[in-house]
């Protein structure tokens, strides 16, 4: 996945949690792409992945 926006403290924390669960950072999924204007969607998708225990590529289209 490509992330084209800024990194915030919240996003850095979520990246760390995601990596601990799935062994890769969320931006490591090259099949997915989020633009800088999609910050909320990106963060919400990472939170959902952590909550349901499934990587982004399993539910994001």
pLDDT of residue 28: 79
Q: Which of 24, 29, 53 is nearest to 3 (CA)?
A: 29
Interior angle at CA 42, CA 16 and CA 17, nearest 5:
15
Residue 46 — pLDDT band, cuts 50, 70, 90?
very high
Q: Of residues 6 and 20, which shows the higher confidence score?
A: 20
Tell me the average pLDDT across 23-35.
84
CA 24 → CA 1, 17, 31, 37, distances in Å? 11, 10, 14, 23
Neighbours of 49 (CB within 10 A): 22
Tell me the average pLDDT across 2-15.
87
């Amino acid at each position: 996945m490509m992330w084209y926006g800024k990194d915030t403290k919240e996003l850095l924390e979520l990246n760390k949690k995601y990596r601990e669960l799935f062994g890769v950072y969320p931006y490591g999924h090259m099949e997915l792409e989020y633009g800088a204007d999609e910050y909320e969607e990106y963060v919400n998708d990472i939170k959902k992945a952590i909550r349901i225990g499934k990587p982004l590529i399993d539910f994001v289209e």
